[in-house]
Amino acid sequence: MAAKLTEKRVALLVTDGFEQVELTSPKAALEDAGARTFIVSPKKDVVRGWNHAEPGDQFKVDRPIEAARATDFDALVLPGGVRNPDKLRCDERVQAFVRDFFQQHKPVAAICHGPWTLIDAGVASGRRLTSYHSLRTDLKNAGATWVNEEVVIDDGLITSRTPDDLEAFNATLVEKLAAPAQSTRA
């Protein structure tokens, strides 16, 4: 892939329990396109991924949440897994960090259970998006329009359903981040 994201900085927000491939695959696609990626977390040192129901690898945290600012990044990626967003969504620092990306009209991408965090950050209402199917009612109750599609783009918000959608999710993320003008309504 051509290095079309040179000088772009992307935060990947996770804590223990993320679906590992939902971090590693977008991270690799972004880096292959020239972006610099940073694992941001409420944890300070390392986070552990999961491969479905089995513990996965550990990853170094590049920036703890209390030292992370949306102004330092060009985009945000929210991997899923069940445990990860369920923990993140309850953290007020995480909620503020996510909201700041929307307030600054920067691209945000969420896959699988990642959109759970959007609900608690207060940014799901009025959006058209997708997710893992079990979040459909949660998202509808939060005021979002849920659809069952591989990738959904809503004014700078990119969402996908499962790891099976990663190829399209990654391609869309890179394409939208490479576009000159981005918009994510607050």
Quote the percentage of the chain above a pLDDT of 90. 91
Instruction: Give per-residue pLDDT as tens, 97-107.
Output: 999 999 999 99
Sheet holding 54-60, edge to edge: 18-19, 46-51, 54-60
Calculate the average pLDDT of the chain.
Answer: 94
- Return the pLDDT at 169: 98
Instruction: Assess if residue 123 is contained within a domain.
Output: yes
Q: Is the pLDDT of residue 183 over 60?
A: no
**pLDDT average, residue stretch 118-123:** 97
pTM of the entire structure?
A: 0.94
Q: Write the CATH number for 92.
A: 3.40.50.880
Q: Is the pLDDT of residue 111 over 60?
A: yes
Q: Is the pLDDT of residue 50 over 80?
A: yes
- What's the number of domains the chain is made of? 1
Q: How many CB atoms are located within 10 Å of the residue 57 CB?
A: 13
Q: Is the pLDDT of residue 1 over 50?
A: no
Judge whether 48 and 17 are in contact, CB under 8 Å: yes
Instruction: Assess if residue 184 is contained within a domain.
Output: no
CA nearest 18: which of 105, 77, 103, 90? 77
Instruction: Assess if residue 78 is contained within a domain.
Output: yes
Instruction: Assess if residue 186 is contained within a domain.
Output: no
Residue in the block written with tokens 């959007």:
118
Catalytic residue among 52, 90, 105, 113: 113
Bridge pairing between strands 36-41 and 9-13: parallel
| Distance from C-alpha of 69 to C-alpha of 72, rounded to nearest angstrom | 5
Instruction: Give per-residue pLDDT as tens, 132-181.
Output: 999 999 999 999 999 999 999 999 999 999 999 999 999 999 999 998 65
- 151 φ, ψ to 5°? -140, 135
Instruction: Assess if residue 124 is contained within a domain.
Output: yes
Instruction: Assess if residue 2 is contained within a domain.
Output: no
- Return the pLDDT at 124: 98
**pLDDT average, residue stretch 43-62:** 95
Catalytic residue among 52, 90, 105, 112: 112
Quote the percentage of the chain above a pLDDT of 70. 95
| Distance from C-alpha of 50 to C-alpha of 29, rounded to nearest angstrom | 20
Instruction: Assess if residue 76 is contained within a domain.
Output: yes
**Whether 52 is catalytic:** no
Q: Is the pLDDT of residue 185 over 80?
A: no
Contact residues for 8 (Cβ-Cβ < 8 A; gap 6+): 30, 34, 35, 36, 74, 75, 177
Instruction: Assess if residue 1 is contained within a domain.
Output: no
Domain limits at 76?
A: 9-178
